[in-house]
Structure 1
C-alpha cells in the first residue's frame, strides 16, 4: 500500500492523528528532503526510515517501490509541506500504481494555494491553479498575460525576491485588478492583503515583509472592467502588446465579442 500523506504547511499542530499513525506504521517514508521531514518525524517521535524521492531520482526509485508494494511493503509519500504531488513529484508513481492495479490511499492536509484562496476574499466558485510562473523572462510574461486575461480567479505561488516584479507587471496590464497576497500561512506572522496590485506595491517591504513563500490570488478578467471599445483588430493588437500570443489573443477576442475565430483572424490579418 502507498499512503499519500499530507503534512502541515507551517504549523506542526495541524498534523492529523491519522497522518502520525500512518507514518509510524509504514515500512518507509518517501520524502523530498530527508532533512526537512526528519524535523517532522522527530517532533512526533516517529522512527520510521526515510528515503529520498524527488525529481532527480524518481524514475529509478519508482520501480523499486512498485516491486516492494507488490511484495507487501507499505510506504508513505510526503512532501516538505502540505499535500504531496501538487507542484511536486509523485503523480508518476500514482499513475504507475493505477497501471499495475496496486492500492493507494490519500490522507488529506492543507495546501497553501487553497488556504490562500479561502483567505483572499475573491470569488472561488471557479478558479485555476497555475503554480509557479516560468523563470524565463519571455515565458513568464507570456504566462502572466494569459492569467491576466483568464475568465476565472487565478491562484499562483511566488518567491519573495520576485514579488515586486510580479505586482509591477500586473499593474502594467491592469492597475485596477484586485489581487490578494498571503504569506506565512498558519505561522506566527501570517498575513493576508486584498487590494489593487498598485496599492500592494506600496505596502511591500513596509507593511508586508518580503519573507516566506507568497500565495497570489488574481481576480478574473472582465471585459467590462477594461472597457475596450476599439475594433476587433485593435483589441487583438492590445492583447498581443500585453504579451499574449496572437492565436490566443484572437481566440479570446472572438469569445469576448461573440464572433467566430475565423472572422477575427481575417480582420486582424487584413
Structure 2
C-alpha cells in the first residue's frame, strides 16, 4: 500500500485507535497539514516517523515528488490537523494523481466532526448534504445560505466562533422557526450541543453557549409539505419566489425537486410569463 489516509482525534486523544497508531509508526513518511499540530500528537504516542508538510500552499509543488517516492516503494500516511483528512482539507488531488498512476491507497478511519454533530443534533439524517465552510465573500455567502435554506435535505456546515452568531442571525431573519443545531468542542471537555429554532438559538449563543471553540451547525431541511407537486410549473416556481428565493435559484430548485432539467423548467416558466 502506498498511502494510508489516516484519521486522527478531533479533540480527545483517547479516541486514537491502535490501528491509527501502528499505521503512523509503520509508514516511512507522514504528510501533515500543520507539522506543529501533528508533532504534538506524535510525541504523545511516541511516534518518531518522518514528518513533512502537505497543505493548500505547497500541494502542487510536492505532489509530483510524493508520487515519484511512492513508485520506488516509500510509504506515506496523510493526516489533517484533526479528524478525517480530505474533508474540507487538501488531499483529493493527491488521490487523483495516484489513480492515474495505479498506485494503491486505503483509509484508516477516525472521527469526523460533521457526522458526530449530525448524530448529536436529533435532526433527521436519512438524507443530508455536507456544505463544509461557507464562502468568504458576502455575496457568495448569501447565495449559498439561500440555497441551503431552500434545500429539502438536512444541511451540515462548519463555522468559526467569530462568525457563528452572524450566521444564526441570517437564518433567523429568513426563517425564525427553522430547527437548527449547533455543536461546539465535540469530544472535548466542554462539548456542547443545542437544538432549537433559529430565533431561540440566536438568543442562546453567547449566553448559554460560549462563542469559543470549533462549531458545526446542522440545519433541518426545507419543509416540502407546503409545495403541491401537481401544480403548474410556473406556480411552483412562484411559490419559491414568494418565499424569498431569487428566480434563477427557484427554477433550479423546482427542476431538482421534479427531476427535470433546469432549462426545461426555465422555458416552461417563461412561456407562462
TM-score (norm 1): 0.92
Give the superposition deviation at 1:224: 3.3
Relative to structure 1, is the Cα distance of residues 255 and 108 closer, same or farther in structure 2, using a 3 angstrom cutoff? closer
The answer to whether residue 196 in structure 2 is matched with residue 195 in structure 1 is: yes
The answer to whether residue 248 in structure 2 is matched with residue 264 in structure 1 is: no
Contact kept, 8 Å, 1:28 with 1:50, in 2: the verdict is yes
Give the superposition deviation at 1:12: 0.6
Give the superposition deviation at 1:204: 1.0
Equivalent position SS for 1:9: coil
1:121-270 alignment, distance < 5 Å: 121-224=122-225, 231-232=235-236, 234-239=238-243, 241-242=244-245, 244=246, 246-253=247-254, 261=265, 262-267=267-272, 270=273
Give the superposition deviation at 1:206: 1.0
Equivalent position SS for 1:176: coil
Contact kept, 8 Å, 2:152 with 2:224, in 1: the verdict is no
Distance in structure 2 (CA, Å) of the matches to 1:130 and 1:17: 31
- Residue in 1 that maps onto 2:110: 109
Give the superposition deviation at 1:254: 5.9
Contact kept, 8 Å, 1:5 with 1:83, in 2: the verdict is yes
How many aligned positions are there?
264
Structure 2's unaligned 5+ residue stretches are none
Distance in structure 1 (CA, Å) of the matches to 2:63 and 2:184: 34
| CA-atom RMSD in angstroms | 2.1
Give the superposition deviation at 1:258: 9.8
Equivalent position SS for 2:61: helix
Relative to structure 1, is the Cα distance of residues 266 and 190 closer, same or farther in structure 2, using a 3 angstrom cutoff? same
Structure 1's unaligned 5+ residue stretches are none
Deviations 1:65-91 (A, max 9, x none): 111111001111000000001100000
Give the superposition deviation at 1:233: 6.3
Equivalent position SS for 2:31: strand
Deviations 1:56-111 (A, max 9, x none): 11011111111111100111100000000110000010111111001111100011
Contact kept, 8 Å, 1:223 with 1:256, in 2: the verdict is no
Give the superposition deviation at 1:226: 8.6
Distance in structure 1 (CA, Å) of the matches to 2:212 and 2:256: 40
Equivalent position SS for 1:217: strand
Equivalent position SS for 1:160: coil
